[in-house]
Structure 1
Amino acid sequence: MGVLAAAAFAFIWSTGFVVGRFIHGAAEPNVFLALRFGIAAVLLFAVCAIRRPPMPDARTVGAHLGIGALVNGVYLCLVYIAIADGLPAGIMALFGGWQPVLTVLVVALLTRRAPRVTVVLGIAASLTGLVLVLGPGMRSGAITGLLLVLAVLAALLLGERLPGPSLQLFGALAWSVLGISVVGMALMLHLVRTTSPTTVAIVVLAAPPLAAVQTYLLFGDTLTLLQVAGVVVSLVGVGVARVAEARSALPGRVGPASEADGEDPAGRRLG
Structure 2
Amino acid sequence: MLATLIAAVFVVLWSTGFVVARAITPFADPNLFLLARFGGTALLFALAAVLARAAWPTGRDLGKHLLAGALLQGVYLGAGYWAVAQGLSAGVMALLGALQPLLTAAVAVPLFGERLSRRGWAGMGLGLAGVVLVLQPKLSAAAPHASHVAHGNAPSWLVVAVSILAIGAITAGTLFQKTSLARADIRSASAVQNFGAAAVAAVLALALGEHRWVASPTLWGSLAWGIVMLSGISVTLLVWMVRRGDAARATALMFLAPPLAAIEGYIGFGETLLTVQIAGFVVALLGVLLARS
TM-score w.r.t. length of structure 1 = 0.83
Q: CA deviation at 1:220?
A: 2.3
User: Would you say 1:197 and 2:198 are equivalent positions?
Assistant: no
Tell me what 1:81 maps to: 82
Instruction: State the one-letter code of the partner of 1:20.
Output: A
Uncovered stretches (5+) of structure 1, i.e. residues with no partner: 244-271
Structure 2 Cα separation of the partners of residues 236 and 35 of structure 1: 37
SS in 1 for 2:210: coil
Uncovered stretches (5+) of structure 2, i.e. residues with no partner: 150-194
Q: 1:99-110 alignment to 2 at 5 Å?
A: 99-110=100-111
Structure 1 Cα separation of the partners of residues 85 and 264 of structure 2: 17
Tell me what 1:184 maps to: 234
Q: 1:64-143 alignment to 2 at 5 Å?
A: 64-84=65-85, 89-112=90-113, 114-141=115-142
* Alpha-carbon RMSD: 1.9
Query: Are the equivalent residues in 1 in contact too, given 2:89–2:142 (CA < 8 A)?
Result: no
Query: Are the equivalent residues in 1 in contact too, given 2:114–2:246 (CA < 8 A)?
Result: no
Q: CA deviation at 1:150?
A: 1.6
Q: CA deviation at 1:138?
A: 0.7
Tell me what 2:210 maps to: 160
Structure 2 Cα separation of the partners of residues 111 and 80 of structure 1: 31
Query: Are the equivalent residues in 2 in contact too, given 1:14–1:211 (CA < 8 A)?
Result: yes
Q: Please point out which of 196, 219, 222 is paired with 2:272.
A: 222
Instruction: State the one-letter code of the partner of 1:225.
Output: T
Q: CA deviation at 1:155?
A: 1.2
Change beyond 3 A, Cα 1:90–1:211? farther
Count of paired positions:
243
Structure 2 Cα separation of the partners of residues 221 and 87 of structure 1: 20
Q: CA deviation at 1:39?
A: 1.2
Structure 2 Cα separation of the partners of residues 65 and 89 of structure 1: 28
Structure 2 Cα separation of the partners of residues 66 and 234 of structure 1: 31
Instruction: State the one-letter code of the partner of 1:44.
Output: F
Q: CA deviation at 1:199?
A: 1.6
Q: Greater share of helix residues, 1 or 2? A: 2
Query: Are the equivalent residues in 2 in contact too, given 1:119–1:240 (CA < 8 A)?
Result: yes
Structure 2 Cα separation of the partners of residues 41 and 112 of structure 1: 32
Instruction: State the one-letter code of the partner of 1:150.
Output: V
Which structure has the bigger radius of gyration? 1
Deviations along 1:36-74, whole A, 9 cap, x unmatched? 111111111111111111223422222221121122111
SS in 1 for 2:25: coil
Deviations along 1:235-268, whole A, 9 cap, x unmatched? 111011112xxxxxxxxxxxxxxxxxxxxxxxxx
Q: CA deviation at 1:98?
A: 0.7
Q: CA deviation at 1:78?
A: 1.9
Structure 1 Cα separation of the partners of residues 51 and 122 of structure 2: 46
Tell me what 1:10 maps to: 11
SS in 1 for 2:273: coil
Change beyond 3 A, Cα 1:84–1:220? farther
Structure 1 Cα separation of the partners of residues 212 and 54 of structure 2: 35
Tell me what 2:63 maps to: 62
Indicate the percent of aligned positions where both proteins have the same amino acid: 41
Structure 2 Cα separation of the partners of residues 89 and 12 of structure 1: 19
TM-score w.r.t. length of structure 2 = 0.77
Q: CA deviation at 1:146?
A: 2.9
Q: Would you identify which runs of 4 or more consecutive aligned residues in structure 1 move more than 6 Å? A: none
RCO higher in structure (CA 8 A, sep ≥6)? 2
Tell me what 2:177 maps to: none
Q: CA deviation at 1:152?
A: 1.5
Change beyond 3 A, Cα 1:162–1:49? farther
